[in-house]
Structure 1
Amino acid sequence: MTCIVGLIEGRRVWMGGDSAGVSGLDITVRADPKVFRNGDFLIGFTSSFRMGQLLAFRLRPPKRPEGMDVFRFMVTDFVDEVRNCLKEGGYAQRNNDAEQGGSFLVAYEGRLFSIQSDYQVCETTRGFHAIGCGADYALGSLASTVGQPAEQRVRKGLECAELLNGGVRAPFRIEYLDAEEDNLTLPLLSAVA
């Protein structure tokens, strides 16, 4: 299920997500968003709605210590808080002695990070990323729309994923986090029938 798209435009990071909840061959259009704000972070998740709910309502994101590198902070302090949150919420699993969570995108300080199920942190050099079952379609769309307005690129990526993947459904929620505007977000809802 799911397509989450992230795109950096200057100091603004755009993120969009679909509304599909998938179980086997059943699909439900969910009212609870896969893209949301938690403190200074914009998060978009795949994997499990339970994980997303914990990230939205239980996670207490730490403050970055002054002078600490942003990537180091994400790899250490932020991921440690996520791991604790998922363990305490009963979501984290152990498999062959390895702890596993889920996958989600995080916008913070004008940067875009992907947190994988083994808690590794990825920051790509291309300025955009996508996760979920519709990711490949969205990435192709993002690569082909360079130069277009950011919100339009995110929307097109989600629309392409919905067109070609059975686990992605509108309406799409598109927001941005602006590192230069006191981290304000503007929710933009897009319903495509």
Structure 2
Amino acid sequence: MTVIAAVIHGGQVFMGADSLLSDDEGDLETTLEGKLWQHGDWLLGWAGGQRSSQVVRYAFAPPPRHEGQDVMAYLCTAFVDELRAAHANAGTLRRQHGQEHTDLGLLVGWQARLFHVSPWFCVTEYRDLAAIGSGSRPALAALQATPDLDPHLRLQRALEAAERLSEGVRRPFAYLPKEE
């Protein structure tokens, strides 16, 4: 239960996230740890299991990208291989129908590019906006309806729409880069 939303604006990726954590028993609380962070030039936002997010935040670092290497090729190989290895080492890698997966989706921003790494380690690139989590549909609608707004205000509207229309989204909201 969450929403992570992102837009590309002025050659930069901006992300916003809610703070709700939930469990299988329906217990809800807000996290101080946050669902967004930065690794060097990379912005990351997570939706899914909290333990898996901690593995990505504290046990994973994007491996070096070779100069001139296509970013999509890098994400689909070296990045995903290192991400998978971090999950395997931490015991958060699962197997279902012969395929490895986690319980975590990641939005990944780099320079003016935006990607989603699915729990099955598939990588998708988006043109200008994206959202993941249970509040993604209202967030995407709000982002689509506000193309002329400042990116932080667009994200705020998207998160507010997700909070209003999805019981799995709750304040406080966080943003990267931080609002000035």
* 1:77-123 Cα deviation digits (max 9, x unpaired): 11111111111111110112110122110111321100111101011
Partner amino acid, structure 2, of 1:63: P
Match of 1:155 in 2: 156
Asked whether 1:74 is paired with 2:75, we answer yes
Offset, 1:188: 4.3
**1:94 corresponds to:** 95
Matches within 5 A, 1:1-193: 1-23=1-23, 24-101=25-102, 102-125=104-127, 127-176=128-177, 187-188=178-179
TM-score (norm. length: structure 1): 0.89
Structure 1 residue runs of 4 or more that deviate by more than 3 Å after TM superposition: none
How far 1:73 moved relative to its partner?
0.8
Secondary structure at the aligned position of 1:76 is classed as helix
3-state DSSP class of the match of 1:43?
Answer: strand
- Matches of 1:87 and 1:8, distance apart in 2: 32
Q: Specify the SS of the correspondent of 2:75.
A: helix
Distance 2:21 2:28 in 1: 6
| Partner Cα separation in structure 2 for residue 12 and residue 124 of structure 1 | 13
The percentage of counterpart residues that share the same residue type is 34
Kindly indicate whether the alpha-carbon contact (under 8 Å) linking 2:113 and 2:126 is maintained by their aligned counterparts in 1.
Answer: no
Amino acid at match of 1:14: F
Question: CA RMSD, aligned part only?
Answer: 1.3
Secondary structure of the corresponding residue to residue 8 of structure 2: strand
Unaligned runs of 5+ in 2: none
TM-score scaled by structure 2?
0.95
AA aligned opposite 2:154: R
CA distance in 1, matches of 2:158, 2:122: 25
Aligned pair count reads 178
Residue 173 of structure 1 contacts residue 188 of structure 1 at CA under 8 Å; is this kept in 2? no
Where relative contact order (Cα < 8 A, 6+ residues apart) is larger, the structure is: 2
Q: In 1, Cα distance between the equivalents of 2:52 and 2:39?
A: 14
